[in-house]
Amino acid sequence: MIIEKDGNRTAKFFVSLIFTVLLAFVVKMNFGYAEFLDSMVVTAVQKSPSGFLNTFYTMVSFLASPTLDIIWIFIIAFFLWGFHYRIPALWSILTLAGADVVGFLVKNVIRRARPIDHLKSDDGFSFPSGHVLGMFIVLAVIWIMVVPLIQSATKQFVLKVIIVMVMILVMMSRVYLNAHYPSDTLGAALVAYTWLLFAENLYPRLAPKLNEWPLIGGNKY
C-alpha cells in the first residue's frame, strides 16, 4: 500500500489544523503585527523588479493556475491508472477536488480583499491563495504517489528538491505579482497540508475496500 497507516498522522493533522485556524483568525481580525510581517516579505520579494522577473513569475503563476492544476492532476492520474494504480489515481483527483472545495469555503469565511494594484484577472477573495493551494496538492501527489515508484534514490532526492523549489516559486510569484499577501500563500499551504493529512488518513481505511470493486479492484494500491 502506497499510503500506510501512521499513528502520528492524526496528531499532525490537529497541529496543522490549529495553526491554520490561528492564521485565519489573525488575518480575519487584521492584526497589525501580521500586516507588518506581510509588508516586510512583500518588500523583500518585490525589491528588484525587472522585465525578466515579471515574465518569469507570470509564467510560473500561469502554470500553477487552478485550471491547470486540474489538468496536471488528471495527467498524473492517467499515468497512474495506466500503470494499474487505479485507486491512487482516484485518490489524487478526489484529494484535489476536496482541497478546492475547502479553499473556496475558507475564502468565503475570511473574505479578505486582494492587495492594492492586483491584476484584474485575479478576482475573488485573497485568503487562501488558490494557486498555492492547488499546486501544493499536485506536488504532494507527485511526492506521495510518483516518487516512491522511482527506483533510484538519487533521482528521488532530486525530484523532491525540485518539488520544494517549485512550491517556493509559486508562493513567491503570487506575492511578486500583487495577487496575494504572503500570509495568503502561507495560509494556502497550511490549508492544503491539513486537508492532505485528512485524505492520507482515509486512504488506508478505504483503499482495501475499494480494491474489492470490479472496475477498480485487483490492482496495485
Residue by residue, pLDDT tens for the chain (221 residues) are 888 888 899 999 999 999 999 999 999 998 888 889 999 999 999 988 888 999 999 999 999 999 999 999 999 999 999 988 999 999 999 999 999 999 999 999 999 999 987 776 777 899 999 999 999 999 999 999 999 989 999 999 999 999 999 999 999 999 999 999 999 999 999 999 999 999 999 999 998 888 877 777 667 77
Q: Give whole-number Cα distances, 24 to 30, 115, 173, in Å.
A: 10, 17, 21
Pairwise CA distance, residues 147 & 196, whole Å: 17
How many C-beta atoms lie closer than 10 Å to residue 34's C-beta?
A: 16
CB 103 within 8 A of CB 128: yes
Residue 217 is predicted with a pLDDT of 66
Residue 216 is predicted with a pLDDT of 75
pTM of the model: 0.93
Residue 71 is predicted with a pLDDT of 98
How many C-beta atoms lie closer than 10 Å to residue 105's C-beta?
A: 11
Tell the residue number behind the cell numbers 501580521, with chain if given: 34
Nearest C-alpha neighbor of 78 from the set 93, 62, 65, 100: 93
Residue 218 is predicted with a pLDDT of 67
Give exposure, 150-183, as e/b (b: 16+ Cβ within 10 Å).
eeeeeebeebeeebeebbebbbbbbbbbbbbbbb
How deeply is 124 buried, as exposed, middle or buried, from its count of CB atoms within 10 A (0-12, 13-18, 19+)? exposed
Residue 124 is predicted with a pLDDT of 86
DSSP code for 5: -
